[in-house]
Chains A and B, each alone.
Chain A
Amino acid sequence: MREPLKSCPNQYRSHSLSGECYLVPLVLIVGISFVNIIQLLVQFLNFIHSAASIAKYSGTCPAPANMRLSVKHKRLPLRQLISKLTNKSRDHLTPELEMRLITPDSPLWKCRPEECPFVDPYWAFYWPGGQALTRFILDNSNIFQRKNILDVGCGCGASSIAAAIVGAKLVLANDIDTTACEATALNARLNRTNTLHILNDNILNKKSTSLGHVDIVLIGDMFYDSEFSQMLLDWLRTIKKSRVFVGDPGRHGLDNLTRSQEIQLVSEYDLLDHTVLENNGFKTSRVWEVF
């Protein structure tokens, strides 16, 4: 009997999030215990505090580095900031899923990275590789049903959410970026998915055995950096027992691999017209299986 994915200390479930939503408790304030009222008061103060910090960002782009949120213990303000600065979008290859993203009509779309209140918000875009991989999951639910799934570099969380929707046994969405994990949690709730586990950690430093048994590893658009691509490939070689699916529009990090026997094309999708315009040079996105 194989052991399922182990829990990790800083893992949290998206379905526990509803307790932190400030709107719900404010509505239900009548008829609850004293302890709860204290808790609500704390949350309310937290909300006021975060509202103030959001106000600082309301002038679209410029935010000096020292104003960037230190993330620990500030999950609620962070989520509010994500909600404020992103738009809900179904304008992608998986319209079944509504994702919070920085879209072309968001003021942050055209700002420079140093002006953005989020540090490297890779999670804020639905990359073509992620779109293809998520489409593939939704269209091939049989592959993912009743499986333990690990989504490395989950970003906005689309592939994880899709895997949960099609009936995976357990989905672990992983990203090194705390904000990405919060965005994934928000997006999971937006799509009424409450069976997602989220792990904010650098998983490539971990021995694969520490993760328990993983049936399928998902990698959406992570081959944009040659150095990191190599790390990722080395890590993938240590998890021989799992099937690995990669979504990628043709980034340079995958070049050496696509010429080798270790990888096989599974599916190719035409990107939507506006996605083509937004992703200079890419017209299609592919799903590969790595052996």
Chain B
Amino acid sequence: MARVLVGVKRVIDYAVKIRVKPDKSGVVTDGVKHSMNPFDEIAVEEAVRMKEKKLATEIIAVSCGPPQAQETLRTALAMGVDRGIHVEVGPAELNTLQPIHVSKILAKLATEEKADIVIVGKQAIDDDCNQTAQMTAAVLDWPQGTFASKVEKTNGELTILREIDGGLETIKVKLPAVLSADLRLNEPRYATLPNIMKAKKKPIKKVTPKDLGVDLSPRIEIVSVEDPPTRQAGSILPDVDTLVTKLKEGGHL
């Protein structure tokens, strides 16, 4: 029986149209709908399924961020996580918070909480870093099963099906281990009214990176954030012959 630590990040909702700040220092986050990173939802779902299969005894969700990160934790709690840990990160540090910091926080908490499995989403949809699982495994010196699309537990080992370029790879890792959830691992459940209600009172512990001995000084400097170039408008042609002529003119044929 294992204790599972899940990382959940509060990100701008996937359906929101992203706007860049005029001074190019970042994107507009004020007054914008946020929700849990979709890949982290998959990670939470996998942990809850492990608990339902009696493979896990307890699930702890961790979120690093501003006070609103607690809302993200509440969503995780409503999905079936047992308790939450909110690592408070101020607005100044949030901009330059990187996987290097988060992985150290997760590693420290995994040790403190005696976790056997750490699961995170393969990447966050805001920065697309795809580094946290790998770095956490490195800090802890645990084996890693990244881009997992199927996880099975057999005699203290995890059999993981990974999505790799050109196919699927099956690996076995010994516990404790770090996993990252790929899109096809599962379909996350919806947090329903009764679950939200009984999750309102589940415990959330607040800690600071300082309490955990993690230095948040930036390792990168954001030089400029810009919109992607706008696509040029296309044109509608009357028939295939005109298309062929145009393509020849352009030297594409």
Which residue of B189, B193, B197 is within 8 Å of A280 (Cβ)? B189
Which residue of B54, B78, B190, B197 is within 8 Å of A122 (Cβ)? B197
Chain A 235-267 against B: per-residue CB contact (8 Å), 1 yes, 0 no?
A: 000000000000000011000000000000000
Residue of A whose beta carbon sits closest to that of B201: A225
Which residue of A125, A226, A228, A251 is within 8 Å of B194 (Cβ)? A125
Which residue of A113, A276, A282, A283 is within 8 Å of B197 (Cβ)? A113
Q: How far is the CA of A278 from the CA of B197 in the complex (A)?
A: 13
Chain B 185-206 against A: per-residue CB contact (8 Å), 1 yes, 0 no?
A: 0000110111111101111000
Q: How far is the CA of A225 from the CA of B203 in the complex (A)?
A: 8
Q: For the complex, is A224 an interface residue (Cβ under 8 Å from B)?
A: yes
B197 and A281 form a contact (CB under 8 A): no
For A228, list chain B residues within 8 Å (CB): 201
In the complex, identify which listed stretch (A103-111, A180-188, A206-214) lies at the interface while the others stay far away.
A103-111
Chain B min CB distance to A118 (Å): 10
A110 and B190 form a contact (CB under 8 A): yes
**Residue count of chain B within 8 Å CB distance of chain A:** 23
A283 and B201 form a contact (CB under 8 A): no
A281 and B59 form a contact (CB under 8 A): yes
Residue of B whose beta carbon sits closest to that of A224: B198
Residue of A whose beta carbon sits closest to that of B77: A280
For B197, list chain A residues within 8 Å (CB): 113, 120-122, 125
A252 and B83 form a contact (CB under 8 A): yes
Q: For the complex, is B79 an interface residue (Cβ under 8 Å from A)?
A: yes
Name A's B-contacting residues (CB within 8 A): 102, 104, 108-113, 116, 120-122, 124-125, 127, 224-228, 251-252, 276-283
A226 and B48 form a contact (CB under 8 A): no
Residue of B whose beta carbon sits closest to that of A225: B201
Q: How far is the CA of A127 from the CA of B198 in the complex (A)?
A: 10
Q: For the complex, is B162 an interface residue (Cβ under 8 Å from A)?
A: no
Q: Assess A279 versus B195: contact at CB under 8 Å? Given A228-B201, A252-B203.
A: yes
B82 and A252 form a contact (CB under 8 A): yes
Q: Assess A116 versus B193: contact at CB under 8 Å? Given A226-B203, A281-B59.
A: yes
Chain A interface mostly helix, strand, loop or mixed? loop
For B198, list chain A residues within 8 Å (CB): 127, 224, 251
Which residue of B48, B52, B193, B202 is within 8 Å of A224 (Cβ)? B202
B193 and A111 form a contact (CB under 8 A): yes
For B78, list chain A residues within 8 Å (CB): 280
Chain B min CB distance to A219 (Å): 15
Q: How far is the CA of A282 from the CA of B190 in the complex (A)?
A: 16
Residue of B whose beta carbon sits closest to that of A101: B194
Chain B min CB distance to A101 (Å): 10
Q: How far is the CA of A257 from the CA of B59 in the complex (A)?
A: 20
Which residue of B80, B193, B200 is within 8 Å of A281 (Cβ)? B80
Which residue of A109, A120, A282 is within 8 Å of B192 (Cβ)? A109
Which residue of B193, B194, B202 is within 8 Å of A252 (Cβ)? B202
Q: For the complex, is B10 an interface residue (Cβ under 8 Å from A)?
A: no
Which residue of B54, B80, B193, B200 is within 8 Å of A109 (Cβ)? B193
For A280, list chain B residues within 8 Å (CB): 48, 52, 78-80, 189, 195
For A282, list chain B residues within 8 Å (CB): 52
Q: Assess A281 versus B48: contact at CB under 8 Å? Given A112-B196, A125-B194, A252-B83.
A: yes
Most A CB contacts (10 A, CB to CB) among B54, B197, B203 go to B197
Question: Mind listing 11 A-B residue pairs with CB under 8 Å?
Answer: A110-B193, A116-B193, A127-B194, A224-B201, A252-B82, A252-B202, A279-B194, A280-B189, A281-B59, A283-B52, A283-B54
A278 and B194 form a contact (CB under 8 A): yes
Q: How far is the CA of A122 from the CA of B200 in the complex (A)?
A: 12
Q: Assess A110 versus B201: contact at CB under 8 Å? Given A280-B48, A281-B52.
A: no
Q: Assess A278 versus B192: contact at CB under 8 Å? Given A120-B197, A228-B201.
A: yes
Q: How far is the CA of A278 from the CA of B52 in the complex (A)?
A: 12
For A226, list chain B residues within 8 Å (CB): 201, 203
Which B76-125 residues sit within 8 Å CB-CB of chain A?
78-80, 82-83
Q: How far is the CA of A111 from the CA of B196 in the complex (A)?
A: 10
Residue of A whose beta carbon sits closest to that of B58: A252
Q: How far is the CA of A252 from the CA of B84 in the complex (A)?
A: 12
A102 and B193 form a contact (CB under 8 A): yes
Q: How far is the CA of A116 from the CA of B196 in the complex (A)?
A: 12
Most A CB contacts (10 A, CB to CB) among B54, B193, B201, B202 go to B193
Which residue of B48, B83, B193, B195 is within 8 Å of A108 (Cβ)? B193
Q: How far is the CA of A252 from the CA of B81 in the complex (A)?
A: 11
For B194, list chain A residues within 8 Å (CB): 102, 109, 124-125, 127, 278-279
Q: For the complex, is B51 an interface residue (Cβ under 8 Å from A)?
A: yes
